[in-house]
Chains A and B, each alone.
Chain A
Amino acid sequence: MTATADSPGETRPPAPSGPPGSASRSARRSSRPDGAAWYFLGPFLALFLFAFVLPIGYAIYQSLLTVERHGPLGLGEPSIGFAGLENYALALQQADFVDSFGRVLLFGVVQVPVMLLLALTLALMLDQLSDRWAGLLRASYFLPYGIPGVIATILWGFLYVPGISPITEALGSAAPDFLSYDNVLWSIANIVVWEFAGYNMLIIVAQLKSIPQELYEAAKIDGAGPWQTALRVKIPLVRPALVLTCVFSIIGTMQLFAEPLVLKLLTPAVTSTYTPNLNAYNDAFANANIHLAAAKAVILAIVACALSFGFLSLVTRKQRRER
């Protein structure tokens, strides 16, 4: 069954050869009506094509078009014409679009490691507790994951705005302005950490639980204390979970949308072009330029996929070299 545990990037043996060890059963395999697979796959595949593949294709198509104006002063009847890569060039020339990528990149470089370090630390600390306490605390750390980003932002918004916030009240004159131009990015980062640290912790906890007990016993016999066990045994073994959480966090960072959109109501420091997603949304609805918006959505999808695939292959290559 080792084949099941393979990574997504790994190429599997070609289908006709079947899983390893099944060759002896090949005579009986002929009784399996493989054609039935399409009945099971059909409904999912049809909707997947309609709600995943087709929209992307249509967005790419729309991104290659533009509204052409005719007549004197461009006041004539507008028509849709082929624009090639014009929208992409226009998007990349817009300083605020490029800036928004820089912003989420900076955000990700700080927020993802902080969140994963917090998640890892919490997971390792809970591992030291009795089951009952660990269960209770795990649940309370995980709780924010069930609160949608918008509602979490509404909540934290109340804790950020001076005059309502009991936090700024308690801190008195030492209280920072959470919503100032310099601070608001990190105030958003705090909301995202709050929402997802517990979720990532749970993934790491799951991996910790699947570590064979003999390893702990061996470490104990070798005289390793709790610190050494954590650093030398546990952390290297939860690495797959860390890679997984990191990839999902990178994807999540690129998608940043609801949090800045809600905070935009509370502070002028968040503009309507604050993140790439907000930027594209603004083009589609406020500026009514769906072709440019489509180009931006495509750029965003490409960058996000490139980053997560890049990270995955970086980790895999490093691992291969270590082997």
Chain B
Amino acid sequence: MSATTTPEAAPAAPVTSARTTPPGPRRVPPPGRILLVASLAVATVYFLLPVYWLVIAATKSTDKIYGSNGFWFDSPRLLENIGKVLSYDGHVYLYWVANTLLYAGVGALLATLLAAAAGFALAKYRFRGREAVFKSVLAGVLLPHTALALPLYLLFNKVGLTNTYWAVLIPSVVSPFGVYLCRIFAESSVDDTLLEAARVDGAREGRIFFGLALRIMSPALVTVFLFQFVGIWNNYFLPLVMLSDDRMYPITLGLTTWQTSQDRIPELVQYTVGGAFLSVIPLAVAMLVLQRYWRTGLTEGSVKG
């Protein structure tokens, strides 16, 4: 198995983003070129079509969502719609935005810090039980997270933590995959001689970690943060089983409750669409801007195979 991961793969990872595409064969013969461009165009339409529909639909009233061509504008009124989404039910959507930022933002930040410390410890110290800890972390990577939601509910229900912010936040700050990435990155990029030099200079271990290791590991940390952010943002099962007060919901859970009540309150069709639009657009922009960080970090992940 180690044969598949050449020595170049791991240490080269941080620099890959800087490297340009291999010069390889640039020009394909014309018929192939046409096929290539056509296939890529079809793929682009496929991936962007639902988002395009969302942008159009966000400008429409509920009537127009049903009664007009979904792929073109019909009496657009985007700002009015957004205003209604935000003010509906005592500004509940704003609570959901704040909660999402708390769960995904603060959760991912804490998860990254914990993963960095644990990964650094596993990479740079030798102690009894190191391998046992690492193996159980790996088992955590392979365990399906939704298979964990129900057991977490049973336990948190027992200790009275359900329907609190902690119920979603505590499981969110644990990222075994982050520990795995941080360990690999720390092993290949944090130099032992540098640590020894710092120790000779009298630096304590905590100072070495916060002042030195964290800075060296920052490319990996950005990746861990993004992974965890999207992971928490995507995890629907956990808040669904844990929370019953709709003022504590994240956006995803809130929108599905609106979706469920559409039969009784038809305006909610428009609010669901508008709410989805408001939550998707900032993330789409963030994706485009942060794309290169994903690439850098994913190389670390791929050496795992």
Q: Which B residues, 261 to 305, have Cβ-Cβ distances below 8 Å to chain A? A: 272-273, 276, 279-280, 283-284, 286-288, 291, 294-295, 298-299, 301-305
Is A59 touching B44 in the complex (CB atoms < 8 A)? no
Chain A 1-40 interface 0/1 with B at a Cβ cutoff of 8 Å (1 = within)? 1111111111010111010001001001101111111111
Contacts A4-B188, A5-B303: A37 and B121 contacting too (C-beta < 8 A)? yes
Chain A 209-241 interface 0/1 with B at a Cβ cutoff of 8 Å (1 = within)? 111110010001000011101000000000111
Contacts of A213 in B (CB 8 A): 22-24
Extra pairs beyond A1-B10, A1-B188, A32-B199 (13, CB < 8 Å): A12-B131, A31-B196, A31-B200, A36-B205, A43-B118, A47-B174, A52-B140, A59-B151, A128-B36, A154-B256, A159-B53, A197-B47, A315-B305
Once bound together, how far apart are the Cα atoms of A243 and B301, in whole Å?
A: 11
**B212 on interface, CB distance cutoff 8 Å:** no
Is A50 touching B127 in the complex (CB atoms < 8 A)? no
Contacts of A257 in B (CB 8 A): 146, 236-237
**B34 on interface, CB distance cutoff 8 Å:** no
Selected from A48, A52, A194, A323, the residue in CB contact (under 8 A) with B46 is A194
Once bound together, how far apart are the Cα atoms of A221 and B144, in whole Å?
A: 46
Contact sample, A vs B, 26 pairs, CB 8 Å cutoff:
A4-B10, A5-B10, A7-B305, A8-B138, A15-B126, A32-B125, A43-B117, A48-B137, A51-B170, A55-B154, A56-B148, A62-B154, A149-B234, A150-B236, A155-B276, A163-B66, A166-B70, A203-B301, A216-B22, A241-B305, A244-B305, A247-B305, A254-B144, A255-B144, A262-B256, A294-B154
Nearest B-chain residue to A2, judged by Cβ: B7
Interface residue tally for chain B (C-beta within 8 Å): 128
Contacts of A5 in B (CB 8 A): 2, 5-7, 9-10, 184, 303
Nearest CB on A from B129, distance (A)? 9
Contacts A7-B5, A220-B24, A294-B150: A305 and B143 contacting too (C-beta < 8 A)? yes
Question: Which of A78-86, A89-97, A139-147, A172-180 lines the interface with chain B?
Answer: A139-147
Contacts of A6 in B (CB 8 A): 1-2, 5
**A284 on interface, CB distance cutoff 8 Å:** yes
Once bound together, how far apart are the Cα atoms of A300 and B142, in whole Å?
A: 13
**A109 on interface, CB distance cutoff 8 Å:** no
